[in-house]
Structure 1
Amino acid sequence: MITTLLSHQWKAYYRSSVFQKSLALNIILGLLILYFGAIFLIIGIGMPVLLAELFPGQNPVDVFNGMLLFYFLIDLFLRFVLQELPVLAVQPYLHLPVRKGKLVHFVLLKSLPSMFNLIFLLILVPFMYATVVPAYGAGAALAWLFAFLMLTFFNNFVLIYFKRQLSVKPLLTLLFGLAVAGLMVLDYVGAFSLLAVSRAVFGAVLERPWLAVVPVLLVAAAYALNFQYLKNHTYPEELAIRKTTRAEGKGIAFLRRFGEIGKLIELEIKLIWRHKRSKSLLTMSLFFLFYGLIFYRNESYLDSFVVLIFVGIIITGMPMFNYGQFVPSWQSGHFDAILTRRISPYQFYAAKLWIFVSVVTLAYLLTLPYGFFGYKIILVNTAALLFNIGVNTFIIFFFSVYNTNRLDLSKGSAFSWQGVGASRFVMMLPMMLLPVLIYLPFKFMGVPDLGVVAIGLLGLAGFAFQKQMLHWTANWFLKHKYKLASGFRQD
C-alpha cells in the first residue's frame, strides 16, 4: 500500500501544471537548493579550522557539541515558521478498503525526507569525518551522527503535532513556544547553562554509544502522539469542503493543497507578477536588503539596540510594508466582483497573511550573512521577523480599511502618488515605534537583551493567535466594506 500511495503522489506531481509549465520556477528553486547546500557544505569542511580560531585551546568536538542544543532550539523556530505540514488527499481513499492506519503512517513518513531534516548533515558529516572519527573512532562517531539524526526527526514530529494543534488549541502551542523561549532566557540569566548541558549530552553519546537508543525512544513517542491524533481526526465529515467558499484559480498545483486560501494566494501572486506597479514595488524592496550595510559597518551602531531594532524591522519587513500599504487597493479594479463572490473576508486576509509570512521569512534568510558583523544582528533580526509577522501584519490589516483610493496597476510606483493617503504614513508610526517602546523599559532596567526577546515573544504570541486575529480583521473589514467599494468606484 505504501508503494501504491508513493506512486499516486509521484503521478500527481509530474502531471501537475507546476511540473509541466513552471520550468523557470523549478530551475530557480533548484539553484537556491544548490546555493544553500554549497554554503552548508563549505561551512562543514571549514568548521574544524573555524572552531580552532574562535576557541583556541579548546577541544573542537566539545565546542561543537555545546552548540548542538542551541541548533535544535533554533531549528524548532524555523520549522514553526517555514515547515509545511505533510498532507495527503486522504478523502478519495476513505471509502476504499484501505486501513486508515496505513494512510496515517504514509502521511507521517512522508515528512522525513525534508530539507529541514537533511541539510544540516552537509555540515555534520564533513566535521565528523575530519574531527570526530580520529578522536573517538568510527563506531562512536556513527552513533553520535545517528543520535543527532534521531533528534532531528524528533523535532520534525514534535513541530508537526503542535502546528496541527495550533488551529484547535492555540494556547497549547503558545505554551510550548514560551517553554522553548524560557529555556533560552534561563540560560541568559545564568540559571543553568545550555552550553554545558548540550556538551554533556552529546559527549556522553561519544563515550557510551549505546545511549543513542534514547533519541530513538523520543522519536517513537512523538510519532505515536501524531499517529493517534491523525487517526482520531481523519473522518469524511472533518475533511468535507464547503462549497460556499470557493475561489477560482488554476496553475500552481502546490498551492491547491491549501484549499481556497491557496487559490487566493495563487491569484495574488499572479496579480503581483502581471502588473507593472506591483513588480516595481517588489524590485524596490530588494534594494532595502542592502540597507544594513549603511549601519552594520559602523561599530557605534552595533552597540545600540535601538538602531539595530529599527534597521531589523525595515530590512526584514520592507517587502511586506511596500505591498501591504496598498491592501486592499490592489483589488480595487475588481472589488465589486470580490464582494459578490462566495469568498469570506477571513480567507481574503488569510491569503495575504501567508504571503506576508513568506516574503518576510525570505527577507530574513537573505539577511542572515549580516551575522558576520556581530551576533546581536541575528538576535535582533529574529525578533524583528517575529514582530513583523505577528504584530505588524495585523497593524497593516487594521489600516487597510482606510485605503479607499483606486489603484491603477499598469502604472509604476516611481514618482506615483496614486493610492497614497494619510493612513499610509500614520500606519508606519506604530510599526516602527512600538518595538522600540517595548525595548526601552528593559534597557532602563539594565537587561537590554531581554527587551529584544520581549519583542520577539510578542510577535510569536500574535502569530500563535493568528486565527483569532484574522476573525477580528474579517469583522473589521465587514464594517467598512461599503466605504471601500464606494471609494474604488470613483475614477
Structure 2
Amino acid sequence: MFLTLLSHQWRSELRSSVFQKSIALNIILGLFIVYFGGIFLFLGFYLDDILAKIYPGQNVVTIFNGMLLVYFLIDLFFRFLMQELPVLAIQPYLHLPISKNKLVHYVLVKSVPSFFNLLPLLFFVPFMVTSVIPAFGSGMAIVWLLTLVVVTLLNNFLLLYFKRQMSNKPLYTLAFGITIVSLMLLDYLDVLQLQVISQAIFGAILVQPWLVIVPVLLLAGAYLLNFYFLKAHTYPEELRVHKAKEATGGDIAFLNRFGELGKLIELELKLIWRHKRTKSIIIMSAIFLFYGFIFYGKGNYMDGFGILIFVGIILSGMPMFNYGQFLPGWQSGHFDGLLTQRISPYQFLSAKYWMMVPVMVLAFILTLPYGFFGYKILLINAAALLYNVGVNVFIVFFFSVYNTQKLDLSKSASFNWQGVGASKFVMMLPLMVLPILIYLPFGLLDVPYAGIAAIGGLGLLGIIFQKQLLTFSANRFTAHKYKLAAGYRQS
C-alpha cells in the first residue's frame, strides 16, 4: 500500500502544471542541496582537525558532543522556517477499503527521507569514522550515531506536530517557539550552559549505551502524538469543502469603532493569518527582533552611531519591510475584484498604514530591554521608529506600484522567489541607507545626537503630514492601478 500511495503522488506531481513551470526552480534548489551537502561532507571528514586547532589539548569528541544540543535547537529553528508539511489528498481514499491507519502512517513515514533528516548524516557519519570509532570502538560509535539519528527524527516529528497546531492552537506554537528562543538566549547570557548539559547527555551515551532507549521512547511519543492528531482529523465531515461566504468585518470588536478603515484592517489581518507566505513573514520579522544581540554590548559597534542607526531601523522596521515590499501583491489574486469595489486608493493605503504602525510600535516596545546595553540605544531606536513610521512607510508605498508579479499565498516564503524583483533591492537602498546619510554630516561635525534628532525630527514631520503623504501615495497608486492589474493577470 505504501508503494501504491507513493506512485499515485509521484504521478500527480509529474502531471501537475505547476511541476512543468517550476523545473528551473527545482534545478536551482537541487544545486543548493548538492552545494550544502558537499560542505557538510567536507566538515564531517575534517572537523576533528578543525576542533583540535581551535581547542588544543581537548578531546574532540567531547567538544563535538557539547555542540550537539545547540545544533539540534538551531535545526528545529530552521525546520520551523523552511520545512514543509507532508501532505496527501486523502479524500479520494476514504471511501475505499483502505485502513485509515495506513493512510496516516504513510503521511508520517513520508516525512522521514527529507532533506533536513538526511543532510546531518553527511556530517555525523564521517565524524564518527574519523573520531568516534578510534576512541570508543565500533559498537559504541554505532549506538552514538543511532542516538543522533533518533534525535534528528524527534525534531522532525515535533516540528510537524507544532506546525499543524498553528491553525487551531497558535498559543501552543507560540509557547514552543518562545521556549526554543529562551533556551538559546539563556545560553548566550551564560545563565544556562547548554554546552555542559550537551556534553553530559551525549557523553553518557558513549559510556552507558542503554540510555539510547530514552530518545527512542521520546521519538515514539512524538510519532504517536502526530498519528492520533492526524487520525482525529481525517473524517469526511472535517474535510468537506465549505461554501464560500462573503468576507465581512465585525469579528474583532475593537476594530468596529473605526468603520470602513477598521473593516479593511480586519480583512488584512485575516489574509495574513490564513496563508502560509504571510505567516512566514510574521515569523521572520519576529526573529529579527533578536538581531540586536549581534551588535549590542560589543565595543567596536557601541562606540559609533552609524551601525546602531542601521540596527535600529531594522529592529522596528523589519515587519514593515517584510510585508510592505510585496504591496499590493498580497491582493493580486483578487485585484480585479478589488478595483470594482467602492474602496478608494486612499482608504486602501490608509488601512495598510494603520495596520503597520502599531506593529512597528510593538516591535520597538519589545526591543526596549536593549536599553540595558546603553541609553543611547533607546534614543537611536526611538528616532528610528519615528523615521520608519513617518518616512519609510511612504517610501514602501512609492515603490509598491512596481510590484506587478502575482503572489501565490499558499506557498511559504522559504526558497520562494516569487514576486522578488529588482524593485525590491532598489527599494531597500533608501530604506536602509538614507537615514545614515542624514546622520553623516552631523557625525562629521562631531554632533552625533543632533544627527539622531534630525532623523527623528524628519520622521515626526512625516507623521504630522501623513494625510498629505497618503494622498500623494494614493494618487500614484491610481495612476498605476491598471498596469498592476494587467501584470497580475499575465503572471
What interval of TM-score do these two structures reach, taking the shorter chain for normalisation?
Answer: 0.5 to 0.7
Question: What's the TM-score, normalizing by structure 2?
Answer: 0.58
Task: Please give the per-residue CA displacement for 1:189-213, whole angstroms capped at 9, x wherever unaligned.
Answer: 4444211111011111111222212
Query: Counterpart in 1 of 2:222?
Result: 222
1:33 to partner: Cα distance: 1.0
Tell me how far apart the structure 1 counterparts of residues 391 and 34 of structure 2 sit (CA, whole Å). Answer: 35
Structure 2 counterpart SS, 1:57 = coil
Q: Which is higher, the Rg of structure 1 or of structure 2? A: 2
Aligned to 1:212: 212
What CA distance in whole angstroms lies between the structure 2 residues aligned with 1:34 and 1:118?
12
Match of 1:99 in 2: 99
Describe the SS at the equivalent of 1:167.
coil
2:199 paired residue number: 199
Structure 1 stretch displaced more, 14-23 or 191-200: 14-23
Task: Flag the 1:120–1:320 CA change in 2: closer, same or farther, 3 A.
Answer: farther
Give the conservation status (yes or no) of the 8 Å contact 1:332–1:407: no
C-alpha displacement at 1:225, in angstroms?
0.6
CA distance in 1, matches of 2:70, 2:197: 10
Instruction: Note if contact 2:128-2:141 (Cα within 8 Å) is conserved in structure 1.
Output: yes
- Counterpart CA distance in 2 for 1:179 and 1:322 is 24
CA–CA distance in 2 between the matches of 1:85 and 1:333? Answer: 24
Q: Deviations over 1:66-90 (max 9, x none)?
A: 0000011111111111111111111
Query: Does structure 1 retain, via aligned residues, the 8 Å contact 2:140–2:206?
Result: yes
Q: Do the aligned residues in 2 keep the contact of 1:404 with 1:487 (CA within 8 Å)?
A: no
The answer (yes or no) to whether the contact 2:302–2:308 under 8 Å persists in 1 is yes
The 5 A counterparts of 1:45-84 are 45-84=45-84
Give the deviation of 1:93 after TM superposition. 1.1
Q: Give the structure 2 partner of residue 363 of structure 1.
A: none
CA distance in 2, matches of 1:180, 1:105: 28
How many angstroms apart in 1 are the aligned matches of 2:204 and 2:125?
19
Deviations 1:341-365 (A, max 9, x none): 9xxxxxxxxxxxxxxxxxxxxxxxx
Aligned-residue offset at 1:183:
2.1
Bigger drift between 177-186 and 221-230 goes to 177-186
How far residue 401 of structure 1 moved from its aligned partner, in angstroms, is 11
Q: Distance in 1 between matches of 2:104 and 2:49?
A: 45
Shift of 1:14: 2.5
Moved more, 19-28 or 233-242: 19-28
Letter in 2 for 1:230: L
Query: How well do the aligned residues superpose, as a CA RMSD in angstroms?
Result: 4.8
Deviations along 1:305-328, one digit per CA (max 9) or x if unpaired, are 98278369879x999949944611
Find the counterpart in structure 1 of residue 118 from structure 2. Answer: 118
Question: 1:228-267 maps to which residues of 2 (within 5 A)?
Answer: 228-242=228-242, 244=244
How many Å separate the matches in 2 of 1:62 and 1:50?
14
Q: Indicate if the aligned counterparts of 1:65 and 1:198 stay in contact, CA closer than 8 A.
A: yes
Q: 8 Å contact 1:336–1:485 — kept in the other structure?
A: no
Structure 1 unpaired stretches of 5+: 247-259, 266-294, 342-392, 434-481
- SS in structure 2 at match of 1:168: coil
Query: Given the superposition, is the C-alpha separation of residues 114 and 407 from structure 1 closer, same or farther in structure 2, using an over 3 Å criterion?
Result: closer
In 2: Cα distance, 1:487 partner to 1:115 partner: 46
Q: State the AA in 1 paired with 2:70.
A: F
The 5-angstrom pairing of residues 134-153 of structure 1 reads 134-153=134-153
Q: Is the 8 A contact 1:154 1:222 kept in 2?
A: yes
Deviation at 1:244, TM superposition (A): 3.6
Displacement of 1:20: 4.4
What residue in structure 1 maps to residue 344 of structure 2? none
Q: How many residues align?
A: 339
Instruction: Evaluate the alpha carbon distance shift between residue 135 and residue 24 of structure 1 in structure 2; reply closer, same or farther with a 3 A threshold.
Output: same
Partner letter of residue 186 of structure 1?
Answer: L
Aligned counterparts of 1:263 and 1:54: Cα–Cα separation in 2: 41
Amino acid at match of 1:81: L
Task: Using the TM superposition, give the Cα deviation of residue 237 of structure 1 relative to its aligned residue in structure 2, in angstroms.
Answer: 2.7
Determine helix, strand or coil for the equivalent of 2:232: helix
Q: In 2 relative to 1, CA 233–310 (structure 1 residues): closer, same or farther, beyond 3 Å? A: same
Give the equivalent residue in structure 2 for 1:44: 44
Distance 2:221 2:334 in 1: 51
Q: Deviations over 1:349-401 (max 9, x none)?
A: xxxxxxxxxxxxxxxxxxxxxxxxxxxxxxxxxxxxxxxxxxxx999998799
Query: Is contact 2:324-2:396 (8 Å) kept?
Result: no
Equivalents in 1 of 2:228, 2:332: separation in Å?
46
CA gap of 1:408–1:214, structure 2 versus 1, over 3 A, is: closer
Partner of 1:133: 133
- C-alpha change, 1:318 and 1:432, in structure 2 (3 Å) is farther
The match for 2:310 is 310
